[in-house]
């Protein structure tokens, strides 16, 4: 706890038509919105009106060509965030990018550049790609094993951190007469590791946040290791209080083991919120937006997705947690399956109950605006989570609704900001400034040349 | 010639303190300008006031740490251009990027993204990196040979062009009831070449220009091949009319041999313009901005840089062209050395004359604003060049001076625009729309969903 009262952190995902693949028929807009920069500007302005910490772009560098689905990742997130940051003040930007298909030097340079041009508003969500559809766009080599992917991602971030700190103009001494600068303010990093050999220095200096805030998702053991080593904002799926507490302890314990202060980690899991005038209306919206159409449809989908024999299945019988241990070698992100297992390990639930507890692998909160606010505050109040990354089923509609109906309640209860205060995301999240670099406020006054 | 009168094209380079490494002591500003996005915005607004076609960022992904020099490439060009395009209307952006250290999929996606968010104002200057300082930031592998670099760059652009055209929403037929889109509007490219294996499609659709305009620099045989195959805007160093005519014919002949319409190529070489109230004042500014200090200093530099024995050297004797054939294996770009050779091949000049004909390897024009305008129009009027890429010795000062003093003369003479008309750079340069994609104006009206 700092002197200022602890506040709820909220990010909001704004990919294409919204988070849920089947909700688009119920949204406002045209299909061309998904590639229209003006649309993303409207969504970001809406998020700014709602005083969100940041808008969040997930990513996948391949076109999803399912004729029954819709493209979910189009305009490059970092490019889009850079343009939006020039148009919309205050709000932060989470840009997802792959450590598998970028070089550390280019990625460190680009992200530090966006952090500088946005005035310290960039969060980077580093993912290690594992999808064959993505791999096919980047050559013919086989995908690395999961373990190696995470080891490589961790070294990737080690290199990026060295690069981000490699040129700090605040280190300049007196610049001799006739010289433009003190070149000793930049030093090589001479990294020679298992996966990368990078000399440096970076040709972009330390930014307003030292370096961009690092977000990390992934709940497999390798993912938790990476989060504990490098993650500052953890995006994950937490479906219940006990599961959330266990996850938070695991990440923080491991961070401590790596010599990190666990207070330098914020946990902001995904959240699907569906509000209605009544709880019944919200339940009906859930049935529609999920594509299942009805409660029976939700249960049928649950049976299908979990490979359950429908014959004689009782949706009102308590489920056996052990039945839901995900295959660690499956193609989907491991973390996505662990949420359900964690939920059933800690609570005795039926299929009818479970289908209303998560959607799109994230915690689902359904009800009136007051009920939704209650549920959001519930896991935040005791520190199980630091906030949420809202994943609106439909964009713009469910962002509009949340901003108009839920945000004022959160403000009335005193848990959510009523205006933007801090200028950088790092300050807004109360995260420590990276070691080895100089805060902008502590940098020497600029000397005038000529 | 089109129906509209042919106009002079002008770009302007705006890297850090200006083009000439020794001119910074005479510029207005602080050393911190070089990493300040507000500074680049001011320069871009100034270029916009001067109605330039585009601002041009050269690049080099390594920090130049010469304590006697100044950093010349800092904030990532594509990131900076993306932010500036969101802040300054009309003007185009040339972003330099390496085909050696980027994957075609990522580069095609990022650049198409910037083209979309800027409304069709991106020009990409693709370079194949060859500097060991750059290579050291990207691993430990030896640099490829020059020939292989160009072959790889050419295939890189082949792949990028296929990707840029791979998803064209204009190809959508009637979208069946209950579906978001017609997925057949996107197709794989299944590229399997010498250097790249890329499946596609790109997850960014055809942009406002079809694809970004492609700039190309490089005057070696490999560079000219690449320009003839892919270049739409050619950046080069042309020091005289005969050299320029020979270069233009060579590029256009080779383009024809590759089956391209040579009218789809614009030649806009670099130009260093130094204006004064009198020619004498401009000559003195040249001596200062070059760092040579005097005419004798310019001649001494010429002797040194060309490895001439100073003993008995007569600066007023006609130079022998053959003495200036560059070593094709040297580290510097071959094209940079060819300019001088071409100049001396076509004109009989002394060292005293030559040092006033080029600066920073580009054509140098010195004099009063009228004299500078005359020299600019001279090579443009008969089609030797289509325009110039101004490389101001000092930024912002020499851009301000050019905009205030030379632009009005060019306008008075009727060779330069008096307002922006076309919205995309492709239209402004009169370049053809890429085949296989649909112009925005020809795309079907958008149908409203839901």
- Give the CB-side neighbour count of residue B52, counting CA atoms within 13 A: 31
* A chain contacts of residue B32, beta-carbon cutoff 8 Å: 169, 446
The DSSP element (H or E) to which A335 belongs, if any, is: helix A334-346
* Of A166 and A223, the one with more pLDDT: A166
Is A281 a domain residue? no
Residues 6+ apart with CB under 8 A from A200: A105, A162, A163, A166, A187, A188, A189, A190, A191, B63, B137
Give the span between the Cα atoms of A418 and A302, in whole angstroms. Answer: 40
- Restricting to B residues 222-281, those with a Cβ less than 8 Å away from any Cβ of A are none
How confident is the model at residue A3, as a pLDDT?
Answer: 47
Nearest to A30 among B63, B201, B448 (CB): B448
Does residue A141 or residue B123 have the better pLDDT? B123
Whether B313 maps to a domain, the answer reads no
Q: Where are the alpha helices (DSSP H) in B189-277?
A: 221-230, 241-257
DSSP letter assigned to residue B423 = S
Radius of gyration of chain A (CA): 23
CA distance A104 to A192: 13
Instruction: Give percent of chain B above pLDDT 70.
Output: 94
**Binding region of B for FMN:** 59, 96, 150, 220
Using the beta-carbon criterion (under 8 Å), do A109 and B76 form an inter-chain contact?
A: yes
| HSE-up (13 A, CA, CB side) for residue B75 | 29
Residue A249 structural domain: 9-274+364-442
Closest CA relative to residue B161, chosen from B118, B134, B193, B135 = B193
Say whether pTM exceeds 0.90. yes
Which structure tokens are listed for A11? 């990010």
Cβ–Cβ contacts within 10 Å for residue B300, how many? 18
Nearest to B102 by CA among A425, A337, A102, A376: A102
Is residue A163 in a domain?
yes
The alpha-carbon gap from A158 to the nearest alpha carbon of chain B, in Å, equals 14
pLDDT tier at A328, thresholds 50, 70, 90: low
Q: Given an 8 Å threshold on Cβ–Cβ distance, is B31 in contact with A62?
A: no
Average pLDDT over residues A416-422: 97
Share of chain B above pLDDT 90, in %: 78
Q: Which tokens go with A434?
A: 């990276």
Distance CA(B311)–CA(B354), nearest Å, equals 19
- Separation between Cα atoms, residue A187 and residue B420, nearest integer Å: 44
- Share of chain A residues as helix, strand and coil, in percent rounded to the nearest 5: 40, 15, 45
CB of B197 within 8 Å of a chain A CB? The answer is: yes
Overall size of chain B counted in residues: 450
Q: Note which residues in 352-381 of chain A have CB less than 8 A from chain B.
A: none
Total domains in the fold of chain A: 1
Residues of chain B neighbouring A110 (CB-CB closer than 8 A): 76, 78-79
A346 within a domain of the structure (yes/no): no
**Beta strands per DSSP E along A148-243:** 191-192, 197-198, 213-217, 233-235
As a whole number of angstroms, the distance between CA A397 and CA A402 comes to 9
Mean pLDDT in residue range A115-131: 92
Interchain CB distance below 8 Å, B35 and A204: yes
User: Can the peptide bond before residue B362 be classed as cis, meaning omega within 30 degrees of 0?
Assistant: no
**CB within 8 Å of B311: residues ≥ 6 apart:** none
Q: Is A352 domain-assigned?
A: no
Least confident of A187-196, A415-424, A432-441, B381-390: A432-441
With a CB-CB cutoff of 8 Å, which residues 44-63 of chain B face chain A?
A: 60-63
pLDDT at position B330, please? 52
Q: Which two structure tokens, joined as six digits, stand for B317?
A: 């004797």
Residues A15-44: tens digit of each pLDDT: 999 999 999 999 999 999 999 999 999 999
| pLDDT score of A443 | 64
A126 within 8 A of A157, measured Cβ to Cβ: yes
Task: Give the residues of chain B that fall short of pLDDT 50.
Answer: 1-3, 331-334, 445-450
A chain contacts of residue B192, beta-carbon cutoff 8 Å: 140
CATH number for the domain spanning A58: value is 3.20.20.30
Residue environment code for A168-204, b if the CB has 16+ CB neighbours within 10 A, otherwise e:
bbebbeebeeebbbbbebbbebebeeebbbbbbbbbb
pLDDT, mean over chain A? 92
pLDDT at residue A448, as a whole number: 36
Residues 88-107 in A contacting B (C-alpha not used; CB under 8 Å) = 101-103, 105-106
Measured at the CA of B9, the angle between CA B125 and CA B283, to 5 degrees, comes to: 95
Residue B3 is predicted with a pLDDT of 47
Pick from B79, B116, B133: CB nearest A82 = B79
Closest Cα of chain B to A54: distance in Å?
18
Q: What is the DSSP letter of A6?
A: P
Beta-carbon contacts of residue B11 (< 8 Å; ≥ 6 apart): B52, B53, B54, B55, B56, B92, B94, B268, B387, B388, B389, B390
Lowest-confidence region among A97-111, A120-134, A436-450, B119-133 = A436-450
Residue A329 has pLDDT above 60, yes or no: no
Give the pLDDT score at B444.
55
Within 13 Å of residue A450, how many CA atoms lie on the same side as its CB? 17
Residue B290 burial by Cβ neighbours in a 10 Å radius (0-12, 13-18, 19+): buried
Give domain status of residue B385, yes or no. Answer: yes
ipTM for the complex shown:
0.95
- State whether residue B87 sits within 8 Å of chain A by CB: yes
Q: Do the Cβ atoms of A80 and A37 come closer than 8 Å?
A: yes
Confidence of residue A310 (pLDDT cuts 50, 70, 90): very high
Interchain CB distance below 8 Å, A75 and B204 = yes
Helix (H, G, I), strand (E, B) or coil at A256: helix
- Band (pLDDT 50/70/90 cuts) for residue A4 is low
Chain B residues 121-150 with a CB less than 8 Å from chain A: 133, 136-140
* pLDDT for res A447: 40
Q: Do A446 and B31 touch (CB under 8 A)?
A: yes
pLDDT for residue A327 is more than 70: no
Cβ–Cβ gap B116/A178 under 8 Å: no
- Interface contact A201-B65, CB threshold 8 A: yes
- Give me the phi and psi of A12, to 5 degrees please: -140, 130
In whole angstroms, what is the distance from residue A383 CA to residue B96 CA?
47
């Amino acid at each position: 706890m700092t002197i200022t009262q602890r506040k709820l952190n909220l990010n909001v995902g704004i990919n294409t038509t919204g988070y849920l693949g089947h909700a688009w028929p119920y949204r406002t807009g045209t299909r061309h919105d998904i590639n229209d920069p003006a649309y993303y500007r409207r969504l970001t302005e809406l998020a700014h009106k709602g005083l969100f910490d940041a808008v969040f772009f997930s990513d996948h560098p391949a076109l999803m060509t399912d004729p029954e689905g819709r493209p979910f990742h189009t305009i490059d997130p970092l490019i889009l965030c850079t343009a939006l940051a020039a148009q919309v003040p205050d709000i932060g930007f989470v840009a997802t990018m792959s450590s598998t298909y970028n070089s550390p030097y280019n990625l460190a340079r680009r992200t530090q550049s966006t952090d500088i041009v946005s005035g310290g508003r960039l969060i980077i969500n580093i993912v290690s790609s594992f999808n064959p559809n993505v791999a096919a766009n980047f050559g013919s080599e086989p995908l690395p094993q999961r373990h190696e992917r995470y080891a490589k991602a961790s070294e990737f971030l080690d290199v990026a951190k060295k690069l981000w700190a490699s040129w700090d103009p605040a280190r300049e001494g007196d610049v001799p007469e006739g010289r433009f600068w003190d070149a000793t303010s930049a030093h090589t990093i001479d990294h020679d590791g298992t996966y990368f050999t990078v000399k440096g220095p970076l040709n972009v200096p330390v930014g307003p946040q030292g370096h961009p805030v690092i977000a990390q998702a992934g709940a497999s053991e390798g993912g938790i290791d990476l989060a504990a080593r490098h993650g500052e904002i953890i995006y994950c799926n937490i479906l219940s209080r006990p599961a959330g507490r266990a996850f938070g302890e695991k990440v923080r314990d491991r961070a401590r083991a790596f010599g990190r202060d666990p207070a330098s980690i914020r946990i902001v899991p995904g959240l699907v919120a569906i509000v209605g005038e009544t709880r019944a209306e919200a339940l009906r919206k859930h049935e529609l937006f999920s594509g299942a159409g009805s409660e029976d449809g939700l249960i049928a989908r649950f049976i299908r997705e979990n490979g359950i024999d429908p014959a004689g299945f009782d949706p009102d019988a308590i489920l056996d947690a052990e039945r839901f241990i995900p295959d660690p070698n499956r193609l989907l992100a491991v973390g996505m399956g662990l949420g359900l297992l964690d939920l059933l390990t800690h609570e005795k639930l039926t299929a009818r109950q479970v289908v209303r507890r998560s959607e799109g692998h994230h915690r689902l909160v359904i009800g009136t605006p007051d009920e939704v606010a209650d549920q959001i505050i519930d896991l935040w109040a005791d520190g199980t989570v630091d906030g949420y990354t809202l994943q609106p089923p439909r964009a713009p509609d469910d962002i509009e609704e949340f901003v108009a109906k839920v945000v004022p309640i959160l403000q009335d209860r005193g848990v959510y900001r009523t205006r933007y205060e801090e200028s950088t995301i790092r300050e807004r999240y109360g995260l420590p400034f990276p070691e080895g670099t100089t805060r902008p406020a502590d940098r020497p006054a600029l000397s005038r040349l000529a």
